[in-house]
């Protein structure tokens, strides 16, 4: 009988720590690239729960090992163990559901307040009561889970407030939780720890930038998966060149196989030949590539002509191509969905602001794409997807590109000047590669993380045309 109990205990310990180790690997892999400090989105409910459960198993099972061993030893049966820590994890899963329901975007003041409250809670008799019960024998995993939630809830709320996707904070909280479950309470240790947590909360509130990892970091494009539609020529090609130079893994989507092959050979990018207006292709490509960043750059040359002489087919051509393609790709990004923290850039135009009387419905189509980025943000926020949609608005015609040359030629003829003279009216030129570098700045600089629309120009750089909705 003794040997049976010993074997059951050894098996229970191995299973508990082994499951915790596996869950650490799963959680860290899922959290990769997700940490945005206090600006971290939780994503959809399904995504969050799928992350929260292995995260809780990784953090809590090592500290639960003594209780699991007592349970296995008392019953002498290994099969009692899965039921015990299964019901224990159910309690923490319910905590996750509550966190998801109550979580709201917040700033350093809120994060600091929660951290201060967590430190104060460490000093309360209620905390000491739950901590003591969490180290005693209990009848079930569910009961044990309730006691341990009472003991660790302050530390866990601090983790959520600082960044639930931070491996660093997750590791630090795990060490504290484990120590408090395995070691008896000692004022000489517990009081300084609580005061340190309170001090951290004060520092977060008054000087958040001094706390590493708290504020949204610059997005490093190195090894990020990026899909660029219309990236085989013009502005799209300039963007692809800049992204590759910054270490991104780029997939270019365009129709012309020869142009794609040239880009693939020169830049070493992946390429997919597809019509961007193909709804099925949009869904398939995003599902296969799972990009961190999607840049919708593809646009057809608008038919140019006088407003009073333009046919309906020519007038609506930009809507049939640019808007239709934008609709399919934006819907695919939302319905897949892309993972939380993803960015979707929607190519618009300065014509969306000033109009373009010689290009039919082009200006309206580009304004519609701007609106669609806003609409997509609304859906993302309502569904807690954590995807950010932003409009990129070049505020000048760019020579050497299909759309830019088409427009510049038409307006130069109407003004009776040469194309170069007309383009000079926009000020400093913005070649495609420079355009690409400006888009990279929008991606990797935190100050542009929340804007809706950005104007890009050769002489004035980047201008926020529309900020985030209040």
pLDDT in tens, 397-440: 998 888 888 888 989 998 899 989 998 999 999 999 999 999 99
Phi, psi of 357 (to 5 degrees): -65, -20
* Parallel/antiparallel/unpaired status of strands 461-466 and 453-457: antiparallel
Residue 470 has pLDDT above 50, yes or no: no
| Lookup: tokens for 76 | 């002498």
Residue 224: partners with Cβ closer than 8 Å, 6 or more residues away: 33, 247, 248, 249, 292, 293
3-state secondary structure of 103: coil
pLDDT tier, 153 (very low <50, low <70, confident <90, very high otherwise): very high
Q: Which residues pair with 201 in a beta bridge?
A: none
Tens digit of each residue's pLDDT (9 = 90 or more) over 330-344 = 999 999 999 988 999
Tens digit of each residue's pLDDT (9 = 90 or more) over 295-312 = 999 988 999 999 999 999
User: Is the Cβ–Cβ distance between 294 and 329 less than 8 Å?
Assistant: yes
**Given this model, what pLDDT does residue 14 score?**
83
Residue 455 has pLDDT above 90, yes or no: yes
**Given this model, what pLDDT does residue 141 score?**
84
Phi, psi of 359 (to 5 degrees): -120, 30
Residue 373 has pLDDT above 50, yes or no: yes
pTM score, whole prediction = 0.78
pLDDT tier, 83 (very low <50, low <70, confident <90, very high otherwise): confident
- The average confidence (pLDDT) of the chain is 90
Between CA 192 and CA 186 the distance in angstroms is 10
Between CA 88 and CA 71 the distance in angstroms is 13
Could you tell me the CA-to-CA distances from 225 to 27, 270, 457 in Å, in that order? 20, 11, 26
Q: In the predicted model, what is the mean pLDDT of residues 353-379?
A: 95
Q: In the predicted model, what is the mean pLDDT of residues 63-83?
A: 73
pLDDT tier, 72 (very low <50, low <70, confident <90, very high otherwise): low
**Given this model, what pLDDT does residue 1 score?**
45
Residue 326 has pLDDT above 70, yes or no: yes
Q: C-alpha dihedral over 326, 332, 334, 339, to 10 degrees?
A: -120
Could you tell me the CA-to-CA distances from 360 to 68, 95, 277, 410 in Å, in that order? 72, 55, 20, 12
Between CA 304 and CA 315 the distance in angstroms is 9
**Given this model, what pLDDT does residue 219 score?**
66
Angle at 22 between CA 73 and CA 127, to 5 degrees: 60
- Beta-carbon neighbour count of residue 206 at 10 Å? 11
Residue 287 has pLDDT above 80, yes or no: yes
Q: Which residues pair with 347 in a beta bridge?
A: 392
**Given this model, what pLDDT does residue 3 score?**
59
**Given this model, what pLDDT does residue 74 score?**
65
Q: In the predicted model, what is the mean pLDDT of residues 170-193?
A: 91
Q: C-alpha dihedral over 36, 448, 342, 337, to 10 degrees?
A: 120
Between CA 423 and CA 417 the distance in angstroms is 10
Angle at 404 between CA 403 and CA 406, to 5 degrees: 65
Structural domains present in the chain: 2-210 (no CATH), 225-466 (3.40.50.720)
Between CA 181 and CA 150 the distance in angstroms is 12
- Beta-carbon neighbour count of residue 291 at 10 Å? 24
pLDDT tier, 40 (very low <50, low <70, confident <90, very high otherwise): confident
Between CA 230 and CA 275 the distance in angstroms is 10
DSSP output for 374-420: HHHHHHHHHTT---EEEEEEE-S--TTSHHHHHHHHHHHHHHTS-HH
Between CA 34 and CA 55 the distance in angstroms is 14
Longest dimension (CA), the chain: 102
| Helix (DSSP H) and strand (DSSP E) numbers for the chain | 18, 8
Q: In the predicted model, what is the mean pLDDT of residues 64-71?
A: 78
**Given this model, what pLDDT does residue 430 score?**
95
Tens digit of each residue's pLDDT (9 = 90 or more) over 125-137 = 999 999 988 877 6
DSSP output for 253-291: EES-HHHHHHHHHHH--EEEE--TT-HHHHHHHHHHH--
Q: Which residues pair with 249 in a beta bridge?
A: 225
Cis peptide leading into residue 125 (ω within 30°): no
Query: Tokens 């008392």, residue?
Result: 74
Give percent of the chain with pLDDT exceeding 70: 94
Give the DSSP letter of residue 216.
Answer: P
Between CA 99 and CA 470 the distance in angstroms is 23
| Lookup: tokens for 248 | 């991104």
């Amino acid at each position: 009988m003794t040997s049976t109990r010993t074997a059951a205990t050894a098996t229970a310990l191995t299973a508990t720590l082994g499951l915790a180790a596996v869950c650490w690997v799963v959680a860290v892999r899922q959290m990769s690239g997700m940490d945005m400090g206090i600006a971290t989105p939780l994503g959809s409910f399904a995504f969050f729960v799928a992350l929260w459960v292995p995260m809780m198993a990784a953090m809590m099972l090592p500290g639960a090992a003594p209780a699991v061993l007592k349970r296995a030893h008392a019953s002498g049966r290994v099969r009692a163990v899965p039921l015990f820590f299964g019901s224990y994890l159910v309690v923490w899963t319910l905590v996750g559901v509550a966190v998801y329901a109550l979580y709201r975007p917040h700033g350093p003041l809120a994060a600091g307040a929660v951290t201060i409250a967590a430190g104060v809670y460490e000093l309360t008799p209620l905390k000491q009561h739950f901590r003591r019960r969490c180290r005693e024998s209990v009848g079930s995993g569910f009961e044990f889970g309730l006691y341990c939630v009472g003991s660790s809830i302050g530390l866990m709320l601090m983790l959520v407030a600082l960044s639930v996707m931070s491996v660093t904070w997750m590791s630090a909280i795990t060490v504290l939780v484990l120590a408090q479950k395995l070691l008896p309470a000692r004022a000489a240790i517990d009081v300084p720890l609580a005061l340190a947590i309170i001090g951290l909360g004060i520092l977060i509130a008054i000087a958040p930038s001094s706390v590493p990892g708290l504020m949204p970091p610059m997005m490093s494009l190195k090894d990020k998966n990026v899909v660029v539609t219309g990236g085989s020529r013009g502005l799209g090609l300039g963007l692809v060149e800049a992204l590759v130079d910054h270490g991104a893994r780029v997939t270019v989507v365009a129709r012309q196989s020869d142009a794609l092959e040239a880009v693939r050979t020169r830049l070493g990018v992946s390429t997919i030949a597809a019509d961007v207006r193909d709804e099925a292709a949009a869904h398939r490509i995003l599902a296969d590539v799972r990009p961190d960043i999607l840049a919708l750059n593809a646009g057809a040359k608008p038919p140019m002509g006088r407003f009073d002489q333009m046919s309906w087919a020519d007038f609506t051509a930009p809507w049939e191509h640019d808007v239709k393609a934008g609709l399919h790709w934006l819907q695919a990004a939302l319905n897949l969905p892309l993972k939380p923290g993803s960015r979707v850039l929607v190519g618009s135009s300065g014509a969306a602001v000033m109009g373009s009387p010689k290009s039919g419905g082009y200006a309206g189509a580009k304004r519609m794409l701007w609106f669609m980025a806003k609409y997509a943000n609304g859906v993302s926020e309502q569904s807690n997807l954590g995807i950010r949609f932003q409009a990129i608005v070049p505020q000048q015609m760019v020579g050497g590109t299909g759309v830019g040359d088409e427009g510049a030629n038409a307006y130069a003829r109407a003004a009776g000047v040469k194309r170069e003279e007309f383009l000079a009216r926009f000020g400093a030129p913005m070649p495609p590669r420079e355009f690409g570098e400006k888009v990279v700045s929008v991606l990797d600089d935190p100050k542009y993380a929340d804007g809706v629309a950005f104007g890009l120009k050769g002489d004035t750089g980047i201008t926020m045309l529309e900020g985030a909705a209040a």
